[in-house]
A and B are shown apart, each in its own frame.
Chain A
Protein backbone atom coordinates (compact mmCIF):
# COMPACT_ATOMS: atom_id res chain seq x y z
CA UNK A 1 0.00 0.00 0.00
CA UNK A 2 1.27 3.47 -0.89
CA UNK A 3 2.12 5.69 2.07
CA UNK A 4 0.90 9.20 1.31
CA UNK A 5 1.46 12.56 3.00
CA UNK A 6 -0.92 15.42 2.31
CA UNK A 7 1.27 18.42 3.07
CA UNK A 8 -0.55 21.59 4.12
CA UNK A 9 1.65 24.62 3.43
CA UNK A 10 -0.70 27.59 3.11
CA UNK A 11 -3.01 29.71 5.25
CA UNK A 12 -6.53 28.30 5.22
CA UNK A 13 -8.50 31.04 3.41
CA UNK A 14 -6.17 33.04 1.16
CA UNK A 15 -6.33 30.38 -1.51
CA UNK A 16 -8.23 27.17 -2.13
CA UNK A 17 -5.19 25.00 -1.40
CA UNK A 18 -6.03 24.06 2.20
CA UNK A 19 -9.68 23.30 1.43
CA UNK A 20 -8.69 21.12 -1.52
CA UNK A 21 -5.97 19.44 0.51
CA UNK A 22 -8.66 18.60 3.05
CA UNK A 23 -10.94 17.27 0.32
CA UNK A 24 -8.17 15.21 -1.22
CA UNK A 25 -7.17 13.62 2.08
CA UNK A 26 -10.78 12.49 2.57
CA UNK A 27 -10.98 11.33 -1.03
CA UNK A 28 -7.78 9.31 -0.74
CA UNK A 29 -8.50 7.86 2.70
CA UNK A 30 -11.83 6.36 1.62
CA UNK A 31 -9.91 4.36 -1.00
CA UNK A 32 -8.11 2.69 1.89
CA UNK A 33 -4.80 4.40 1.37
CA UNK A 34 -2.37 4.93 4.21
CA UNK A 35 -2.53 8.72 4.46
CA UNK A 36 -1.34 11.22 7.08
CA UNK A 37 -1.52 15.01 7.27
CA UNK A 38 1.51 17.24 7.82
CA UNK A 39 1.19 20.97 8.54
CA UNK A 40 4.08 23.34 7.83
CA UNK A 41 4.57 27.11 7.37
CA UNK A 42 1.22 28.98 7.29
CA UNK A 43 -0.47 25.59 6.94
CA UNK A 44 -0.43 25.31 10.75
CA UNK A 45 -3.18 27.97 10.89
CA UNK A 46 -5.57 25.42 9.37
CA UNK A 47 -5.67 23.66 12.76
CA UNK A 48 -6.19 26.78 14.87
CA UNK A 49 -9.25 26.85 17.14
CA UNK A 50 -12.03 29.42 16.76
CA UNK A 51 -11.77 30.14 13.07
CA UNK A 52 -14.48 32.57 11.91
CA UNK A 53 -14.27 32.92 8.14
CA UNK A 54 -18.00 33.64 7.69
CA UNK A 55 -17.34 37.26 6.75
CA UNK A 56 -15.20 35.94 3.89
CA UNK A 57 -18.12 33.76 2.74
CA UNK A 58 -15.95 30.73 3.45
CA UNK A 59 -16.75 27.53 5.32
CA UNK A 60 -14.70 27.10 8.51
CA UNK A 61 -12.07 24.43 7.95
CA UNK A 62 -10.70 23.84 11.43
CA UNK A 63 -13.61 21.83 12.80
CA UNK A 64 -13.42 19.36 9.93
CA UNK A 65 -10.03 17.96 10.87
CA UNK A 66 -10.99 16.14 14.09
CA UNK A 67 -13.44 13.94 12.14
CA UNK A 68 -10.79 12.73 9.68
CA UNK A 69 -9.64 9.75 11.79
CA UNK A 70 -13.13 8.30 11.22
CA UNK A 71 -12.30 8.33 7.50
CA UNK A 72 -9.09 6.42 8.09
CA UNK A 73 -6.58 9.27 8.28
CA UNK A 74 -3.86 7.79 10.44
CA UNK A 75 -1.80 10.70 11.67
CA UNK A 76 -1.56 14.44 12.25
CA UNK A 77 1.90 16.00 12.32
CA UNK A 78 2.84 19.64 12.86
CA UNK A 79 6.21 21.24 12.18
CA UNK A 80 7.00 22.69 15.59
CA UNK A 81 9.21 25.60 14.38
CA UNK A 82 6.37 26.73 12.05
CA UNK A 83 3.94 26.62 14.98
CA UNK A 84 6.23 28.50 17.37
CA UNK A 85 7.23 31.14 14.82
CA UNK A 86 3.54 32.06 14.60
CA UNK A 87 3.08 32.34 18.36
CA UNK A 88 0.97 29.19 18.54
CA UNK A 89 1.19 26.10 20.74
CA UNK A 90 -0.54 22.70 20.71
CA UNK A 91 -3.15 24.17 23.10
CA UNK A 92 -4.34 26.42 20.26
CA UNK A 93 -5.07 23.49 17.91
CA UNK A 94 -8.35 21.64 17.31
CA UNK A 95 -6.79 18.16 17.48
CA UNK A 96 -3.93 16.30 19.18
CA UNK A 97 -0.88 16.29 16.94
CA UNK A 98 2.61 14.90 16.88
CA UNK A 99 5.27 17.63 16.70
CA UNK A 100 8.16 17.39 14.25
CA UNK A 101 11.47 19.20 14.19
CA UNK A 102 13.29 19.86 10.90
CA UNK A 103 15.07 16.51 10.87
CA UNK A 104 12.04 14.39 11.77
CA UNK A 105 9.94 16.25 9.18
CA UNK A 106 12.49 15.47 6.48
CA UNK A 107 12.65 11.85 7.62
CA UNK A 108 8.86 11.45 7.61
CA UNK A 109 8.49 12.91 4.10
CA UNK A 110 11.31 10.71 2.79
CA UNK A 111 10.03 7.54 4.44
CA UNK A 112 6.44 7.86 3.26
CA UNK A 113 7.48 8.29 -0.35
CA UNK A 114 4.45 10.03 -1.86
CA UNK A 115 3.87 13.67 -0.91
CA UNK A 116 0.94 15.75 -2.16
CA UNK A 117 1.81 19.39 -1.44
CA UNK A 118 -1.10 21.81 -1.09
Chain B
Protein backbone atom coordinates (compact mmCIF):
# COMPACT_ATOMS: atom_id res chain seq x y z
CA UNK B 1 0.00 0.00 0.00
CA UNK B 2 1.13 3.56 -0.67
CA UNK B 3 1.03 5.63 2.51
CA UNK B 4 1.55 9.36 2.98
CA UNK B 5 2.31 10.92 6.37
CA UNK B 6 1.85 14.40 7.82
CA UNK B 7 3.41 15.68 11.07
CA UNK B 8 1.78 18.69 12.77
CA UNK B 9 3.84 18.94 15.96
CA UNK B 10 7.47 19.74 16.65
CA UNK B 11 10.00 17.50 18.39
CA UNK B 12 9.89 16.48 22.08
CA UNK B 13 6.85 18.54 23.22
CA UNK B 14 4.43 16.00 21.78
CA UNK B 15 4.62 12.34 20.83
CA UNK B 16 3.48 13.05 17.26
CA UNK B 17 6.90 13.17 15.53
CA UNK B 18 8.09 10.02 17.33
CA UNK B 19 4.87 8.22 16.48
CA UNK B 20 5.18 9.22 12.83
CA UNK B 21 8.77 7.93 12.74
CA UNK B 22 7.86 4.58 14.31
CA UNK B 23 4.80 4.27 12.07
CA UNK B 24 6.95 4.82 8.97
CA UNK B 25 9.54 2.27 10.13
CA UNK B 26 6.83 -0.29 10.83
CA UNK B 27 5.09 0.36 7.50
CA UNK B 28 8.36 -0.06 5.60
CA UNK B 29 9.10 -3.28 7.51
CA UNK B 30 5.71 -4.60 6.37
CA UNK B 31 6.59 -3.84 2.74
CA UNK B 32 4.47 -0.71 2.31
CA UNK B 33 5.63 2.26 0.28
CA UNK B 34 5.86 5.70 1.93
CA UNK B 35 4.92 8.34 -0.64
CA UNK B 36 6.31 11.12 1.54
CA UNK B 37 6.34 12.85 4.90
CA UNK B 38 4.94 16.38 5.02
CA UNK B 39 6.17 18.50 7.95
CA UNK B 40 3.47 21.09 8.57
CA UNK B 41 3.19 23.88 11.21
CA UNK B 42 5.57 23.14 14.14
CA UNK B 43 6.42 19.87 12.39
CA UNK B 44 9.01 21.78 10.33
CA UNK B 45 11.19 21.94 13.48
CA UNK B 46 11.61 18.18 13.26
CA UNK B 47 14.09 18.92 10.47
CA UNK B 48 16.34 21.27 12.46
CA UNK B 49 19.93 20.09 12.01
CA UNK B 50 21.05 21.76 15.26
CA UNK B 51 18.93 19.53 17.48
CA UNK B 52 21.36 18.03 19.98
CA UNK B 53 19.43 16.41 22.84
CA UNK B 54 21.83 15.40 25.63
CA UNK B 55 21.57 11.67 26.15
CA UNK B 56 18.31 11.18 24.26
CA UNK B 57 17.06 10.17 20.84
CA UNK B 58 17.83 12.71 18.11
CA UNK B 59 14.56 13.23 16.27
CA UNK B 60 16.00 15.27 13.38
CA UNK B 61 18.64 12.57 12.78
CA UNK B 62 15.92 9.93 12.87
CA UNK B 63 14.03 11.73 10.11
CA UNK B 64 17.25 12.45 8.20
CA UNK B 65 17.90 8.70 8.16
CA UNK B 66 14.42 8.08 6.74
CA UNK B 67 15.29 10.60 4.04
CA UNK B 68 18.56 8.78 3.34
CA UNK B 69 16.49 5.68 2.65
CA UNK B 70 14.82 7.58 -0.17
CA UNK B 71 11.69 8.86 1.54
CA UNK B 72 10.68 12.32 0.34
CA UNK B 73 10.49 14.57 3.42
CA UNK B 74 9.02 18.00 2.76
CA UNK B 75 8.82 20.91 5.21
CA UNK B 76 6.20 23.58 4.49
CA UNK B 77 8.01 26.70 3.25
CA UNK B 78 5.59 29.21 4.79
CA UNK B 79 5.60 27.39 8.15
CA UNK B 80 9.40 27.41 8.03
CA UNK B 81 9.42 31.18 7.51
CA UNK B 82 7.13 31.65 10.51
CA UNK B 83 9.57 29.67 12.64
CA UNK B 84 12.89 31.09 11.45
CA UNK B 85 13.76 27.82 9.76
CA UNK B 86 15.87 28.16 6.61
CA UNK B 87 17.12 25.57 4.15
CA UNK B 88 20.63 25.66 5.60
CA UNK B 89 19.21 25.02 9.11
CA UNK B 90 17.53 21.82 7.98
CA UNK B 91 19.07 18.37 7.84
CA UNK B 92 20.25 17.26 4.39
CA UNK B 93 17.29 15.06 3.58
CA UNK B 94 14.50 17.52 4.27
CA UNK B 95 13.45 19.84 1.45
CA UNK B 96 11.26 22.94 1.63
CA UNK B 97 8.17 23.18 -0.54
CA UNK B 98 4.55 24.35 -0.52
CA UNK B 99 1.11 22.89 -0.14
CA UNK B 100 1.29 21.60 -3.71
CA UNK B 101 3.67 18.96 -2.40
CA UNK B 102 1.07 18.03 0.22
CA UNK B 103 -1.61 17.79 -2.47
CA UNK B 104 0.70 15.54 -4.54
CA UNK B 105 1.35 13.23 -1.58
CA UNK B 106 -2.37 12.90 -0.90
CA UNK B 107 -3.06 12.25 -4.57
CA UNK B 108 -0.36 9.56 -4.78
CA UNK B 109 -1.30 7.73 -1.56
CA UNK B 110 -3.80 4.97 -0.85
CA UNK B 111 -3.89 6.14 2.78
CA UNK B 112 -2.82 9.46 4.28
CA UNK B 113 -2.06 9.50 8.01
CA UNK B 114 -1.74 12.63 10.19
CA UNK B 115 0.19 12.80 13.47
CA UNK B 116 -0.65 15.84 15.60
CA UNK B 117 -2.10 17.01 18.88
Please, how many residues of chain B have a CB less than 8 angstroms from a CB on the other chain?
Answer: 21
Which residue of A is nearest B78, CB measured? Answer: A23
> Majority SS of interface residues in chain A?
mixed
Contact B100 A116 (CB under 8 A): no
Q: Tell me, rounded to whole Å, the shortest Cβ–Cβ distance linking A20 to chain B.
A: 5
Contact A33 B102 (CB under 8 A): no
What B residues does A13 contact at CB under 8 A? none
User: B47-55, B59-67, B106-114: which lies at the A interface?
Assistant: B106-114
What B residues does A94 contact at CB under 8 A? none
The answer to whether the Cβ of B1 comes within 8 Å of any Cβ in the partner chain is no
Return 13 A-B CB contacts under 8 Å, by A number. A2-B106, A16-B41, A20-B41, A20-B79, A23-B78, A27-B100, A31-B103, A31-B107, A33-B106, A33-B107, A114-B106, A115-B114, A116-B106
Residues on A lying within 8 angstroms of B by beta carbon are 2, 4, 15-17, 20, 23-24, 27-28, 31, 33, 114-118
